[in-house]
Structure 1
């Protein structure tokens, strides 16, 4: 509770949400690219080796991702 308040940048808040809400490990968060983000569909493609996993973002994570790209 209140963990997002400690993150001072949009990227930091997106990382906190990715780890705590979607349980993405650090090595997957480090491989995220803006090209993998589709805000209109609300999805984020997570790279898992040669495979890709589609993450469907809820409203909070979607807004944090939009803040990060702005």
Structure 2
């Protein structure tokens, strides 16, 4: 995914951090308290209105 604006870059970075956190959470010995705290903090930092996603997929479900 390529971000097209500063707000989009922040959103993309936060989503990537959440993905990394999810991968860490399932590792043996992962710190559950850290995972829970970081997950809530990352989720709280997301905007209510997500920036538009620009991709190569169809515009509508079932199209293409």
Structure 1 length-normalised TM: 0.28
Greater per-residue helix proportion: 2
**Higher relative contact order (CA closer than 8 Å, sequence separation 6+):** 2
Larger radius of gyration: 2
More strand by share: 1
